[in-house]
Amino acid sequence: MTIFLLLRHAHSTANDAGILAGRTEGIHLSTKGIQQSKGLPKALQEIPINRFISSPLPRCIETIQPTLTKRHRRLVTDDCFIEMDYGAWSGRELKKLRKEKGWKQVQRSPMNFTFPQGESFARTATRIERGLQNLSKLYPKETILIVTHGDIIKLATQITLGGDLNKFQRLVVDTCSLTVLDWNKNERSLLHFNQKLVKIKTSKNEKARMKSRRVLGGGSGV
């Protein structure tokens, strides 16, 4: 069996600003995110990890860097786990995106939606499953940590459970949280979901945003 530790990146400057980051350049960890990343080596210290893989985006690499330094390990990036390409929606405020014509479809039947000038949820799900399948075949007895993004983790969870992918937006994945999957040749299982690893004090503005947690990205943004 292959154990996948899916780690959502720490709190980012996009989370601070309430925007849909996607693959927008210039998105890094926020002050809160840096605190979270510094707490990860201790939070993960009891977990034996064979390989560290990451989305190539800076906020993911910055999240795991203190842990890599502590363990003297190297990181491999994999485009199968990069954030969705939200196309023309990238870099825009979520509160404004809620007024877009396609917003309701994204929430209710996302697998039939393609972002303007961007990627479809169906294509994203395909590359995620391909990436996990490839890793499980190559490393059938290893524990692999993958630093990635909220929507990627939500889709991977639904794929693992064999559930209706159109319902994946009902899931919420917090920043710097861990979701654990078990993939073997004949069975896939969800072992843990959205386990918070590093607790940082939440501001009043962040608490207000949490009132509407089911959104694009991880869900809460906190």
Helix, strand, coil shares of the chain as percentages rounded to 5? 40, 20, 40
Element (H, E) at 134: helix 121-138
pLDDT digits (tens, 9 = 90+) for 96-143: 999 999 999 999 999 999 999 999 999 999 999 999 999 999 999 999
Tell me the domains of the chain and their CATH numbers. 2-209 (3.40.50.1240)
- The pLDDT mean for the chain works out to 92
* Residue found by looking up tokens 């607790």 in the block: 199
The arrangement of strands across the sheet holding 51-54 comes to 76-77, 51-54, 143-148, 2-8, 177-183, 188-196
Instruction: Say how far residue 169 (Cα) sits from the centre of its chain.
Output: 13
Q: Which amino acid is at 7?
A: L
Secondary structure (DSSP) of 74-125: --EE-GGGSPP--GGGTTSBHHHHTTSTTHHHHHH-GGG-B-TTS-BHHHHH
pLDDT tens digits, 164-216:
999 999 999 999 999 999 999 889 999 999 999 997 766 555 555 555 555 67
Q: What tens digit of pLDDT does each residue of 40-69 get?
A: 999 999 999 999 999 999 999 999 999 999
- pTM > 0.75: yes or no: yes
Tens digit of each residue's pLDDT (9 = 90 or more) over 64-90: 999 999 999 999 999 999 999 999 999
